[in-house]
């Protein structure tokens, strides 16, 4: 008699979550998209409002759905605690101090004004002031987990976003502190008793800060001496649990204690090890939290309230984008940077859900209201990558450089397509030797760099038909510097077809790419790997005592050998005939 497969609800749900993590994380990483969106979508699919509706008709679906959503709540709360703990680990007092003007200036203004604007709009629509304040503060937050991977931290957009996100991460403590202190008094205007919670909470935080500075280095030093990763992990979780319990005991949220624990450990020598050893647990716990968020999205409710939800999403995005963009412009940022940053930062955050949950548990907002804005937040998180693309497109239009005239376009000069790091170096060398050139790029940031360096640059996208609209008949050479292999090959073929006698010098990723470029019609293709090897060889030979002259001669000889070999692989018996300038004819 065949035995029947029997799984307890807890085991079944655990398998679904682990399966989701095993699928979502690698798949979304493959497409360079944060798994946050994937976990939310999985939650929508496997939750009670997704496939869970069909379990009674198709019993086998119980093995791929969450059968006990309430049972996941403790794990979701633990995920929130670990999320705030890791945010604290990533911050440090030194880092905050170096960015204090942007963080506490721009960041504070952006959060305060956005929260006030959203709260005012909600009060006008009938929301009680305490609930409007909680929702305003929650919706004013932006996603660190989504924005920074998209923008980076070195570009003007990334730096502006980082400063605001850092302040928001810091502000989570007083925001949750405030909402927790308001909890017993949500239905009245009285403030009696709030001060008791505030002073007890402040005292607890002070004790944690002072005690942690003395005790944590000793605790982790002892754990490090054992060279046991398990003991190190146990010590880290012990610190998080003690700090969370301490803040919860005085009426604050446990995630306040988790954030403080992270900040304290960030000041020790062991923060890197702690961050690495807790990262897998944080990722899985955060995934559970986001799955519970997705499970709370009832597509039926969305369909029935599509109008109000769309208006709410559009209203929040518009308000935050306007506030962020205007503030950046007032502080001297370029229009393109202000617009792109505003659009990118306009969506709510995963921490919005944390603050919203704190407001709901404090009874500042009703469960139905929380569910509505939870749906709005989930939609905002999901469309953040799309907002990033829209922001880039709008920024390009806003910062577009004026086109050059036809007379300038017919002047004899070299054309540099791609004005990134390599293109700028080529342009500087052309300037040094007095050779005229025109650079072409579609990045508005590079337009302003070119103006500052007084390099002639035309704003145009080489991927589209822009090159067909530019008169390049006076070009005496084309230099392709972009790090996009497929685009480089396509442009070489196109330029060789239109300008058969003009030299085309192009950057290649490796020798195989260089051979492909030669087949496409390049005059010279310079592989990055080859040049770095030759430069390394030159440095070694000089440092071991070989005279500079013979070294340079041998390097040139070896470069010519490689070039001839690549041209042979590129099926070229001889180089294309070069176009000579009038002065050389």
| Greater pLDDT, 537 or 331 | 331
Could you report the per-residue pLDDT of 557-568, keeping only the tens digit for each? 777 776 677 666
C-alpha closest to that of 249 among 204, 211, 210, 209:
204
Query: Which residue spans of the chain are classified as CATH 3.40.50.720?
Result: 406-569
Give, rounded to a whole angstrom, the gap between the first and last alpha carbons of the chain: 95
Reply yes or no on whether the pLDDT at 116 is more than 90: yes
The model carries a pTM of 0.57
C-alpha closest to that of 515 among 476, 481, 488:
488
Reply yes or no on whether the pLDDT at 127 is more than 60: yes
Reply yes or no on whether the pLDDT at 189 is more than 60: no
Query: Residue 194: which pLDDT band, with cuts at 50, 70 and 90?
Result: low
Query: Residue 280: which pLDDT band, with cuts at 50, 70 and 90?
Result: confident
Fold of 10-395: Na+/H+ antiporter like fold (1.20.1530)
Reply yes or no on whether the pLDDT at 460 is more than 80: no
Cβ-contact 460, 470 below 8 angstroms:
yes
pLDDT value of position 195:
67
Highest mean pLDDT among 189-198, 339-348, 567-576: 339-348
Query: Residue 117: which pLDDT band, with cuts at 50, 70 and 90?
Result: very high
Q: What is the DSSP string of 158-172?
A: HHHHHHHHHHHHHHH
CATH number 3.90.1150.10 given to 406-569: no
Could you report the per-residue pLDDT of 362-408, keeping only the tens digit for each? 778 888 888 889 889 888 887 887 888 898 888 877 765 444 433 44
Give residue 524's region: left, alpha or beta (phi > 0; psi -120 to 50). beta
Query: Which residue spans of the chain are classified as CATH 1.20.1530.20?
Result: 10-395
SS3 category, 399: coil
Radius of gyration of the chain (CA): 30
Average pLDDT, the chain: 78
Query: Residue 322: which pLDDT band, with cuts at 50, 70 and 90?
Result: very high
pLDDT value of position 578:
44
Query: Residue 51: which pLDDT band, with cuts at 50, 70 and 90?
Result: confident
Highest mean pLDDT among 73-82, 169-178, 348-357: 348-357
Reply yes or no on whether the pLDDT at 548 is more than 50: yes
pLDDT value of position 336:
82
Reply yes or no on whether the pLDDT at 207 is more than 80: yes
Residues found in the chain? 585
């Amino acid at each position: 008699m065949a035995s029947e497969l029997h799984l307890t609800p807890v085991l079944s749900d655990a398998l679904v979550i682990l399966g989701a993590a095993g699928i979502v994380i690698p798949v979304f990483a493959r497409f360079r998209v944060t798994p946050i969106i994937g976990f939310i979508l999985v939650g929508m699919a496997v939750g009670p409002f997704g496939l869970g509706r069909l379990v009674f008709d198709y019993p086998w679906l119980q093995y791929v759905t969450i059968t006990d959503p309430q049972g996941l709540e403790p794990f979701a709360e633990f995920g929130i605690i670990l999320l705030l703990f890791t945010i604290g680990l990533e911050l440090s007092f030194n880092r905050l101090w170096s960015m204090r003007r942007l963080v506490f200036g721009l960041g504070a203004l952006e959060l305060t004004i956005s929260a006030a604007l959203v709260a005012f709009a909600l009060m006008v629509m009938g929301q009680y002031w305490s609930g409007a304040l909680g929702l305003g503060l929650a919706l004013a937050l932006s996603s660190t987990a989504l924005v920074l991977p998209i923008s980076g931290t070195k570009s003007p957009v990334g730096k502006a976003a980082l400063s605001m996100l850092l302040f928001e991460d810091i502000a989570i403590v007083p925001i949750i502190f405030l909402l927790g202190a308001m909890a017993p008094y949500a239905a009245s205007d009285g403030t009696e008793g709030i001060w008791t919670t505030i002073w007890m909470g402040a005292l607890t935080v002070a004790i944690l800060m002072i005690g942690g500075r003395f005790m944590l280095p000793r605790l982790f030093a002892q754990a490090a001496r054992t060279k046991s990763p398990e003991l190190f992990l146990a010590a880290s979780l012990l610190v998080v649990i003690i700090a969370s319990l301490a803040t919860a005991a005085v009426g604050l949220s446990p995630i306040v204690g988790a954030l403080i624990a992270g900040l304290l450990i960030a000041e020790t020598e062991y923060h890197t090890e702690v961050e690495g050893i807790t990262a897998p647990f944080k990722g899985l716990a955060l995934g559970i939290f986001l799955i519970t968020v997705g499970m709370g999205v009832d597509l039926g409710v969305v369909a029935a309230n599509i109008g109000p939800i769309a208006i709410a999403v559009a209203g929040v995005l518009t308000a935050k984008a306007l506030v962020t963009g205007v503030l950046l412009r007032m502080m001297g940022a370029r229009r393109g940077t202000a617009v792109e940053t505003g659009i990118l930062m306009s969506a709510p955050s995963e921490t919005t859900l944390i603050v919203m949950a704190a407001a709901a548990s404090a009874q500042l907002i009703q469960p139905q209201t929380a569910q509505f804005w939870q749906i709005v937040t989930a939609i905002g998180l999901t469309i953040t990558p799309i907002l990033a693309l829209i922001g880039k497109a709008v920024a390009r239009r806003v910062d577009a450089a004026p086109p050059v005239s036809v007379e300038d376009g017919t002047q004899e000069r070299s054309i540099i397509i791609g004005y990134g790091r390599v293109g700028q170096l080529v342009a500087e060398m052309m300037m040094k030797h007095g050779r005229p050139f025109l650079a072409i790029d579609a990045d508005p940031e590079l337009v302003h760099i070119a103006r500052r360096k007084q390099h002639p640059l035309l704003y145009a996208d080489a991927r589209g038909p822009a090159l067909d609209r530019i008169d390049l008949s006076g070009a005496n050479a084309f230099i392709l510097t972009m790090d996009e292999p497929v685009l480089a090959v396509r442009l070489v073929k196109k330029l060789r077809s239109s300008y058969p006698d003009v030299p085309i010098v192009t950057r290649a990723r490796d020798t195989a790419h260089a051979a492909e470029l030669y087949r496409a019609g390049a005059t010279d293709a310079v592989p990055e790997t080859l040049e770095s090897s030759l430069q390394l060889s030159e440095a070694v030979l000089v440092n071991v005592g070989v005279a500079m002259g013979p070294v340079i001669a041998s390097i040139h000889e070896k470069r010519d050998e490689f070039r001839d070999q690549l041209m042979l692989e590129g099926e070229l018996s001889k180089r294309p005939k070069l176009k000579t300038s009038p002065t050389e004819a």
